[in-house]
Amino acid sequence: MIEVPLTKEKRLIRVQHYISKMPSLSTTVTKVLQICNSPTTSANDLNRVISLDPVLTGRVLRLINSAYYALPNQITSLTRAIIMLGLNTVKDLALSTAVLESLGGSESFQALSMDDFWTHSICSGVTAKFLAGIKRVPPEDREQYFVAGLLHDLGKIPLNNCFAEEYVRVLESAKNENIPLNQAESMIFGIDHCMVGSMISEKWQLSEAMNDSLYYHHNPDDAKEENRQLISIVALANSYANILDIGSSGDPHPDEQTVTDLLEKIEIDWSILADFRETVLNEIEKAKIFLQLTQKGAS
């Protein structure tokens, strides 16, 4: 019996079904995101929400007392920890760990390697945050760049889970033809991980900037102007991780023109990144503490 290929519409239905079964963000995380989006939010407002969630409280205190911050004295007050970390860092900690709880397990990965995927994602996040610093993004906003870099490839997880055998063909096509993975996905599936990432963002009601990063990281010029710097930096960080082979999420090395265009958009010289590898590897180890993520084989 000849197997009839699935249409784009049927694939979308299968992906939507997969995403509908994904855990929603917890009530606490949802409230944290809402509170942090308010311009009048204070540490006390955030404390009132987080203090009702022992798990998130523990994470905030573990983070401020971790090697990531290397403080001389232990912090035991949640409010003080929130003040010292900053509202955005606490928000991004809540979001990052919630995402990893939902999608971070090995059962979410079929054709892709879980360890390689998250190492690539962390490298992209670390590099995006570094570039944000170079571009003089205010320190309180740089964690958003880390999280955008960390999450940019989320859409690959449902695709590789729903169509595991065909996704192997997608990976081979991208490698053999030396094209971006999203192009190979579109050729074979009719949909790509950018579209699927936006569907996840919609389910979780992420910010517009985060949604744009998931959807436009291969086409920053198509995003809203106010989000283009963030997305261009995430795109360059993604390219950097691929060029240096730090982890892998299935994309081949980007072509030289893509990297040149991104460097021009961001107005940054490649030489700034050229000697950054050791720093990236050290920051990846620190970021694993931030994410409460233990991995094997990170390189």
Percent of the chain with pLDDT over 70: 93
Find out whether 36 and 46 touch, Cβ atoms under 8 Å: yes
Q: What is the mean pLDDT of the chain?
A: 87
Does some domain include residue 173? Answer: yes
Number of structural domains in the chain: 1
User: For position 159, which CATH number holds?
Assistant: 1.10.3210.10
Using one digit for the tens of pLDDT, what is the confidence trace for 26-56?
888 888 888 887 888 888 999 999 999 888 8
pLDDT in tens, 155-188: 999 999 899 889 999 999 999 998 999 999 999 9
Domain membership flag for residue 14: yes
Instruction: Give domain status of residue 70, yes or no.
Output: no
Nearest to 147 by CA among 94, 108, 105: 94
Domain ranges, residue 172? 8-23+106-291
Q: What is the arithmetic mean of pLDDT over 85-102?
A: 82
Cβ neighbours, 10 Å, residue 200? 24
Kindly report the number of other CB atoms within 10 A of residue 239's CB atom. Answer: 21
- Residue 40's alpha-carbon distances to 34, 36, 209, in angstroms, are 12, 9, 20
Euclidean distance between CA atoms 129 and 141, whole angstroms: 9
Cα-Cα-Cα-Cα dihedral sign, residues 173, 174, 175, 177: positive
**pLDDT given at position 158:** 93
Contact criterion met (CB below 8 Å) for 267 and 105: no
Average pLDDT estimate for 125-140: 90
